[in-house]
Amino acid sequence: MKINSAGFIQVFKSRWIYKILAAFVAVVLIAGGAHAVAMRLSIAAAFERHMGRMGVNMQNMMSGSGTRGVNLYESFMAAVNDSLWISALIAFIVSVLAALLISRLMTRPIQRLTHASRAIAGGDYSHRIPPDEISSDELGLLAESFNGMAEKLQSIEVMRKQLIGDISHELRTPLTAIKGSMEGLMDGVLPAEKSTYQQIYRETDRLQRLVEDLQELTRVDSSALRLNRKAVKISDLVQAVVVPLENTFAMKGVALKSRVESGLPQLVVDSDRIQQVLHNLLGNALHFTPENGHVVLEVRRDGNAVLFSVQDDGIGIAPEHLPHIFERFYRADKSRSRAAGGGSGIGLTIAKSLVEAHGGKLWAESAGKNQGSTFLFTIPVE
Ligand code: ADP
């Protein structure tokens, strides 16, 4: 089998177990090497020392009597022993130092992870492990998923703060209006008559709708939403939404038409939830289309799905707003929708979550301001 060295190094670098193995081997080799070198350097001196202690000179050694041979052997063994002890001690010290250095190097990524997770636990969600410090082994994977988790936590934190800011802002407007009206009534500046109470009623109604929307948003966001799916005829679904709205459209002078392609299959959906989505889209179309405008609800087959579209010739959506309208509390024209008693900018966020819970997609198209808009969503056919 051909050994590819680059591939081998890659496999080696990508597995923590091989690195531990290599660390052990390195320490053993360093200890062995240090032992050999220390012995090589110390043996001659040890030998000479023992010879000197015996008082034996080179001539006597050469003459070779039995006692002298034994003494020579003992001196040699003592010298080797000395040298062994010295080199073992040196090898031990060198290998401990090498092991310390290697373990420091190997545990550095773990220390970084510990440090980073402490920073996150302390509320510093911006903390990351720098990419150039991420290895290609299992610890590197752990560091990458850690960074991913930190990214997610940071965006949740940003969203949380934004949501609290948005909610307080939304609550402040009607509350200020109610408080102002009540103060006016108490001071006698405002007359205690029907129109004043109606004004207060409208603001409390707005507050109630906001709280209901927020509750609904929490439900769809937390996946606590349970779909009660049943087979339904699309024409029944459309009728259930369009008929009750006909009067409201007629009162504003906006024409409402619905077209359902023939031969469409039944959909297995939570009928109430799909009606809620259609109601929201038609309600928006009515809200953002002036008198004498037109709104068309169309349903047709689109591959493996059924495509619903709500088209209006109303105020349209400018390109800079189009990507944001599904974000919570986003309103293209804040002053207008408030003045008109409009919603809080949560409706489309909820509608999108409901369609996605059915496995579909919801999006918007508009050629620009005053060019009308079309909201489309798909529901897969089972
Ligand atoms: P809202 O309660 O304000 O209607 P939505 O989430 O339903 O909140 O809509 C968000 C924003 O999207 C609206 O404030 C408006 O700017 C824009 N929008 C939605 N539908 C239409 C439409 N049919 N025509 C123009 N703009 C629309």
- 254: Cβ below 6 Å to ligand 1? no
Of 265, 293, 258, 273, which is closest to residue 226 (Cα–Cα)? 273
Q: Is the pLDDT of residue 15 over 90?
A: no
pLDDT at 336: 47
Of 334, 316, 335, 324, which is closest to residue 374 (Cα–Cα)? 316
Read off the pLDDT band of 165 (50, 70, 90): confident
**Whole-angstrom distance, CA of residue 305 vs CA of residue 302:** 5
Q: Is the pLDDT of residue 376 over 90?
A: yes
pLDDT at 339: 43
**Whole-angstrom distance, CA of residue 136 vs CA of residue 15:** 8
Contacts 24+ apart (CB under 8 A), 97-104: 98/26, 98/27, 98/30, 98/31, 99/23, 99/27, 102/23, 102/26, 102/27, 103/23
CA 121 to chain centre: 16
**Whole-angstrom distance, CA of residue 93 vs CA of residue 86:** 11
**Whole-angstrom distance, CA of residue 94 vs CA of residue 98:** 6
Probe target for ligand 1 pocket from 216, 254, 348, with the most ligand atoms within 8 Å of CB: 348
Q: Which residue has the higher pLDDT, 100 or 220?
A: 100
pLDDT at 259: 96
* Ligand 1 atom nearest 350 alpha carbon: 6
- 347: Cβ below 6 Å to ligand 1? yes
- 27: Cβ below 6 Å to ligand 1? no
- Cα–Cα separations (whole angstroms), residue 281 to 127, 274, 296: 41, 11, 11
Q: Is 218 helix (H, G, I), strand (E, B) or coil?
A: helix
Read off the pLDDT band of 14 (50, 70, 90): confident
- 348: Cβ below 6 Å to ligand 1? yes
Element (H, E) at 380: strand 373-380
* Ligand 1 atom nearest 326 alpha carbon: 6
**Whole-angstrom distance, CA of residue 222 vs CA of residue 124:** 25
Residue nearest to atom 21 of ligand 1 (CA): 284
Q: 377 C-alpha to center of ligand 1: Å?
A: 15
β-strand pairing of 294-302 with 255-260: parallel
Task: Tell me the pLDDT tens digit for each residue of 239-286.
Answer: 999 999 999 999 999 999 999 999 999 999 999 999 999 999 999 999
**Whole-angstrom distance, CA of residue 294 vs CA of residue 292:** 7
Task: Tell me the pLDDT tens digit for each residue of 109-133.
Answer: 899 999 999 999 999 999 999 988 8
Q: 283 C-alpha to center of ligand 1: Å?
A: 9
Of 288, 365, 284, which is closest to residue 323 (Cα–Cα)? 365
- 286: Cβ below 6 Å to ligand 1? no
Say if pTM beats, i.e. exceeds, 0.75. Answer: no
Residues contacting 279, CB < 8 A, separation 6+? 241, 245
Probe target for ligand 1 pocket from 295, 325, 334, 371, with the most ligand atoms within 8 Å of CB: 325
Read off the pLDDT band of 352 (50, 70, 90): very high
Q: 325 C-alpha to center of ligand 1: Å?
A: 7
Q: 128 C-alpha to center of ligand 1: Å?
A: 38
Q: In the predicted model, what is the mean pLDDT of the chain? A: 87
